[in-house]
Structure 1
Amino acid sequence: MTGRYELSSQRWALIEDIVSPPQTMGRPRRDDRQMLNGIFWILCSGAKWRDLPERYGPWKTVYQRFRQWRDDGTFERVLTRLHLRLRQDGFIDLDTWMVDSTTI
């Protein structure tokens, strides 16, 4: 069972290859799924980075990974894949899909 704001194994499998590519060299990274769950916790709870629960790892590491994924386009690639998946499953029409600030 996953906790609040955390990805289930099924949902993680959809994006794992984008978010957590195989590492060929260097020091082993902290678990990417754990980092992503920490990012979701911050974004969904509205808390400050320093208030991140310890189970997600050091807040500085989670914040660094957030900035890395934001800057290198990882989040954009995940969003693109999820859009395509929703379209294939018939849940979204990309021609009419939009986000309106009045609904947020």
Structure 2
Amino acid sequence: MIEEVRPKGKTPPKNLRRTVSAIFWQHQNGAKWRALPSGFGPWWIVAQLFIRWAKLGVWQHLFENL
């Protein structure tokens, strides 16, 4: 479902699951972006994608589809 609503471009599909998992981890734990475990990749990339997708309405479209 995320593939359908996300903007095409910079995020390679192989990293998409890891990125979404990192975003969910951050929100479930209420931690700062810098506290992301290193297994999720660089925190700043995850934070940047979350903000970009929020501005483009990706999350809104995803939740409407759910």
TM-score by length of structure 1 reads 0.54
SS in 2 for 1:61: helix
Q: Which residue of structure 2 lines up, in the alignment, with residue 33 of structure 1?
A: 17
TM-score by length of structure 2 reads 0.82
1:78 to 42, 62, 65: 62
Runs of 4+ in 1 over 3 A off after TM superposition: 19-23, 27-30
Q: How does 1:1-104 map to 2 (within 5 A)?
A: 15-19=1-5, 23=9, 29=12, 31-82=15-66
The sequence identity of aligned pairs, in percent, is 34
Specify the code of the residue in structure 2 equivalent to 1:56. F
Q: 1:21 to 1:64 in 2, by over 3 A?
A: closer
Q: 1:63 to 1:35 in 2, by over 3 A?
A: same
Matched residue count? 65
Q: Which runs of 5+ in 2 are unaligned?
A: none
SS in 1 for 2:31: coil
Structure 1 residue 22 displacement after superposition: 5.5
- In 2, Cα distance between equivalents of 1:73 and 1:28: 16
Identify, as 1 or 2, the structure richer in helix: 2
* Larger RCO, structures 1/2 (Cα 8 Å, 6+ apart): 2
- In 1, Cα distance between equivalents of 2:5 and 2:38: 21
Query: Which is higher, the Rg of structure 1 or of structure 2?
Result: 1
- Give the aligned CA root-mean-square deviation in angstroms: 2.1
